[in-house]
């Protein structure tokens, strides 16, 4: 790897830049401003660079490194050595000061700085403070979510590899999605059950998680995401990138975190399970691509430059385009053989832009915003046409089947992460919106990253089949459609000793508009 890092200089090498200089260039916006702000960054090379981290050293590769299922690793001596190397690497990173860009806390701050670290943040060189500006950090609720986190995990993995001293270290993934036998937090993250004895243990997790309570099948479901055939929003459909972020990504964060680390983006990456969770999300993206699905091809999207820190403390950069194929560019694949062969990941038609899809028709909408509560709220959506009979929402004809009915929750706003998973029901009678009754249950959502400024956060659910079943069963015969949103039952009601956030006060969270579209 080419680098301007001076090994004789203590601490991370940071390009010189004044606050005034940065603010002047920031007015240019986006990647251009960042490019001017960080002229010393160098293109990243696959596999790792110097410093005993191993790797291919540059050019293209063929996915020689393999990320494995942590449950499978735990069954062999060689696999357990990989898990132990992760524990060793995390412990070594935790021993480094916040000002070291390869330290545990600094790497976690790239996701979002933790307010409790304010004093250490204030002591950072101004260049590092500017780097940790939240506008440059983790990407959520947009098409950059998947590629940005792929890069984030990739460089973290290289840092752990060097810190652990294991030259062939690869991060495992936690496959909570495919096997009911693997839905409990992996043993290495639970035992020994003290942070002093186990760098992978965190006490700040939801009740039951550290005692081995398995995640439920609804929380880990990927059916909504894999039903998406387009990467970006298309017509009424949200697209794979958005759907996989909503579920299982957000749901797992909040389910694991409770009132602890994983349910807040400012603390999530401080829990070592964060990185295995995101390895699994990355694996699911590779699996979706392996089904012949194409990624977004918009030129501005693919050309955007992102900057991270490598294992030697160098500031490095990659474009979104460079991480669309993990095998040829990043030199890794997953052990379940779902990844496309080298060089076969494709984009949509060149210069096609972000798919716009078919025109969208609004079928019903709410009158205004609503504030969610612990007791639950019901939002009535009225058909936009006077003759709002059941046929308006049916998907019986071939034309209707090609245009699903989608329930949208638009402009969801909150300042503080509510650390709560919400259940959504359709046309449920009084008292029936519970226990995920299939006659009324729509799905789950878990607000995770607070929107800022003009940013928006929306959720979308395909309710075509549900409404058709309700029409056939006589539950819905036309007119208004009621949408019920209730917090998931506290863990006590699910047989787990709990308390805390799911039973306490709910931070203010509003839904600006509820609608059904086709």
Whether the per-residue pLDDT at 142 is higher than 90: the answer is no
Judge residue 99's burial from the number of C-beta atoms within 10 Å of its C-beta, 0-12 exposed, 13-18 middle, 19 or more buried: middle
Measured N-to-C along each axis, helices 77-94 and 145-164 cross at an angle, to the nearest 10 degrees, of 90
Whether the per-residue pLDDT at 400 is higher than 70: the answer is no
Percent of the chain with pLDDT over 90: 69
The reported pLDDT for the residue numbered 56 is 33
The reported pLDDT for the residue numbered 29 is 34
Query: What is the spatial distance between Cα 112 and Cα 148, in angstroms, rounded to a whole number?
Result: 13
Kindly report which listed range (14-18, 307-311, 435-439) carries the lowest average pLDDT score: 14-18
Strand-strand pairing, 377-383 and 332-334: unpaired
Whether the per-residue pLDDT at 153 is higher than 60: the answer is yes
The reported pLDDT for the residue numbered 454 is 72
| Averaged pLDDT score across all residues of the chain | 84
Return the residue matching tokens 């017509």: 235
The reported pLDDT for the residue numbered 339 is 53
Closest CA to 415 of 238, 247, 265: 265
CA angle 362, 368, 370 (to 5 degrees): 115
Please name each of the domains of the chain with its CATH number.
65-334 (1.10.1280.10), 362-494+502-517 (2.60.120)
The reported pLDDT for the residue numbered 136 is 74
Q: Give the tens place of pLDDT for each residue, 475-510.
A: 999 999 999 999 997 554 444 444 444 556 789 999
Q: Give the tens place of pLDDT for each residue, 328-351.
A: 889 999 998 665 544 444 444 333
47: confidence class by pLDDT, cuts 50, 70, 90: low
The pTM (predicted TM-score) of the whole model is: 0.86
Q: Give the tens place of pLDDT for each residue, 426-452.
A: 999 988 988 899 999 999 999 999 987
The reported pLDDT for the residue numbered 31 is 36
The reported pLDDT for the residue numbered 338 is 62
């Amino acid at each position: 790897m080419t680098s301007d890092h001076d090994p004789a200089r203590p601490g991370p090498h940071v390009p010189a830049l004044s606050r005034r200089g940065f603010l002047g260039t920031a007015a240019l916006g986006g990647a251009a401003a960042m490019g001017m702000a960080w002229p010393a960054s160098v293109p990243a090379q696959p596999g790792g660079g110097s410093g005993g981290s191993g790797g291919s050293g540059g050019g293209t590769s063929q996915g020689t490194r393999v990320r494995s299922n942590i449950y499978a690793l735990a069954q062999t001596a060689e696999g357990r050595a990989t898990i132990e190397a992760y524990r060793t690497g995390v412990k070594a990173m935790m021993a480094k000061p916040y000002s070291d860009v390869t330290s545990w806390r600094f790497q976690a701050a790239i996701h979002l700085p933790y307010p409790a670290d304010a004093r250490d943040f204030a002591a950072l060189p101004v260049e590092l403070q500017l780097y940790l500006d939240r506008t440059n950090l983790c990407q959520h609720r947009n098409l950059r979510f998947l590629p940005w986190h792929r890069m984030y995990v990739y460089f973290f993995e290289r840092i752990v590899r060097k810190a652990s001293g294991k030259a062939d270290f690869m991060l495992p993934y936690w496959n909570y999605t495919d096997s009911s036998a693997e839905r409990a937090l992996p043993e290495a993250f639970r035992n020994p059950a003290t942070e002093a004895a186990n760098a992978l243990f965190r006490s700040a997790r939801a009740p039951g998680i550290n005692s081995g309570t398995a995640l439920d099948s609804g929380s880990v479901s990927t059916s909504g995401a894999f039903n998406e055939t387009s990467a970006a929003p298309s017509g009424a459909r949200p697209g794979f990138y958005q759907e996989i972020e909503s579920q299982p990504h957000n749901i797992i964060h909040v389910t694991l975190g409770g009132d602890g680390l994983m349910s807040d983006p400012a603390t999530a990456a401080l829990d070592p399970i964060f990185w295995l969770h995101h390895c699994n999300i990355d694996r699911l993206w590779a699996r979706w691509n392996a089904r012949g699905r194409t990624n977004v091809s918009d030129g501005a999207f693919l050309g955007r430059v992102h900057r991270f820190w490598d294992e030697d403390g160098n500031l490095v950069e990659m474009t979104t385009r460079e991480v669309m194929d993990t095998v040829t560019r990043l030199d890794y694949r997953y052990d379940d053989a779902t990844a496309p062969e080298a060089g076969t990941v494709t984009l949509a038609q060149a210069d096609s832009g972000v798919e716009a899809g078919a025109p969208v028709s609004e079928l019903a909408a709410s009158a205004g915003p609503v504030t969610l509560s612990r007791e639950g709220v019901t939002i009535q959506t009225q058909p936009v046409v006077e003759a709002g009979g059941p046929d308006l929402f049916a998907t019986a004809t071939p034309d209707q089947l090609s245009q699903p009915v989608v329930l949208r929750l638009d402009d969801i706003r909150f300042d503080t992460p509510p650390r709560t998973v919400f259940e959504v029901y359709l046309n449920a009678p009084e008292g029936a919106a519970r226990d995920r009754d299939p006659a009324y249950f729509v799905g789950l959502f878990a607000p995770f990253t607070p929107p800022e400024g003009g940013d928006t956060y929306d959720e979308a659910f395909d309710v075509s089949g549900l409404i058709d079943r309700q029409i056939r069963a006589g539950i819905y015969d036309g007119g208004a459609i009621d949408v019920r949103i209730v917090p998931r039952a506290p863990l006590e009601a699910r047989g787990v000793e709990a308390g805390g956030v799911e039973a306490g006060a709910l931070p203010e969270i509003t839904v600006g508009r509820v609608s059904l579209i086709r």
